[in-house]
A and B are shown apart, each in its own frame.
Chain A
Amino acid sequence: MSISFDNALGLHEEALRFRSQRAEVLANNIANAETPNYKARDLDFNAVLAAQQGADAESAALAVSRTDQQHIAIDGLIDQVAGLRYRNALQPAVDGNTVDSEVEKAAYTQNAIDFQASFTFLNSKFKGLMTAIKGE
């Protein structure tokens, strides 16, 4: 019996990757807080999760198909397009910018905490594997 990392780590590996990509999107919003006509974006967890699980037809087209046994499977390609959404601005600026610094900062901080949570889960999975290997 061999250890399958996919089964052992579960969703948390993907969740961690999603969080880091969301951090990127939110950081971009904050960096562009003063750019005229910039529209704030965010990644929708549910949409990305659905796309990841193959439920979304649009993302299925983007998936790499393997036509030969020797082709190497690519996994872990998070489809950003599936979850990238424009934010509904409460008070857009006169120059067309929809970034609300406070909202973005809050989302970024929350995302960082979520990242830590996902990481803690992943870490404990690894610790479990280590315990299984050592058998102590």
Chain B
Amino acid sequence: MSLDKVFDIAGSGMSAQSLRLNTVASNIANADTVSSSVDETYRARNPVFATIFNSQQAAGGSLFSPDQQAGDGVSVLGIVESDASLEPRYEPDHPMANEEGYVYYPNVNVVEEMANMMAASRSYQTNVEVMNTAKTMLQRVLTLGQ
């Protein structure tokens, strides 16, 4: 029954969104992690999503090209660090200040992260509902003939 696949698809969506929530949590937690050099400073992290297409069929690859199939869920290709510029601040009294008296603050935009967090939790919720509906449909099928 192909309804089983809905569970995999919604599950992949939930795991992708929870990973996104993880990066948001990491970004917010490290929003004020300062360092004395550009290289060591924390940079905002974001996951990159991509659609999964069915490629593992017995006959070696799918019969259909990605254009002809609907896809099997979402996957996280990787996590990228933001290229936005870091924020140097002149704080000579800071214990982490370098010789010139500067400390570097991460390029985390907390407002952006909060918006990201809400979008992720909404998406997660939607996927849970999809799974729940599929469960109801499957349970209904089990009563066939009764």
Contacts and interface: CB of A to CB of B under 8 A. Distances in A.
Interface of A: 17, 20-21, 23-28, 30-36, 38, 41, 43, 80-81, 84, 101, 105, 108-109, 112, 115-116, 119, 122-123, 126-127, 130
Contact of A31 (B9, B69, B122, B133): B9
A36 B49 contact: yes
A32 B74 contact: yes
For the residues of B in contact with A, the DSSP-based class is helix
Given A28-B70, A119-B144, A126-B144, A112 B136 contact: yes
Contacts of B127: 30-31
Contacts of B133: 23, 108-109, 112
12 contacts: A17-B2, A20-B1, A24-B5, A24-B70, A27-B9, A27-B130, A31-B10, A80-B69, A81-B68, A109-B133, A115-B140, A123-B143
B84 interface: no
Contacts of A17: 2
Given A21-B2, A119-B144, A31 B70 contact: no
Given A27-B10, A81-B64, A130-B145, A32 B140 contact: no
Contact of A27 (B20, B49, B134, B136): B134
A24 B69 CA distance: 11
B68 A30 contact: no
A126 to B, nearest CB: 5
A35 B137 contact: no
B51 interface: yes
Interface string B16-38: 11001000000000000000000
A24 B3 contact: yes
Given A27-B13, A34-B74, 5 more contacts: A26-B130, A31-B130, A32-B51, A43-B70, A119-B141
B144 A33 contact: no
Contact of B2 (A20, A26, A35, A119): A20
Contact of A35 (B49, B72, B126): B49
B126 A33 contact: yes
Which of A28, A35, A112, A127 has the largest number of chain B CB atoms within 10 A?
A: A28
The 8 closest A-B pairs by CB, nearest first: A31-B13, A35-B49, A25-B70, A27-B9, A27-B6, A20-B3, A31-B74, A28-B71
Interface string B50-93: 11000000000000100011111110000000000000000000
A118 B119 CA distance: 34
Nearest to B72: A28
B9 A35 contact: no
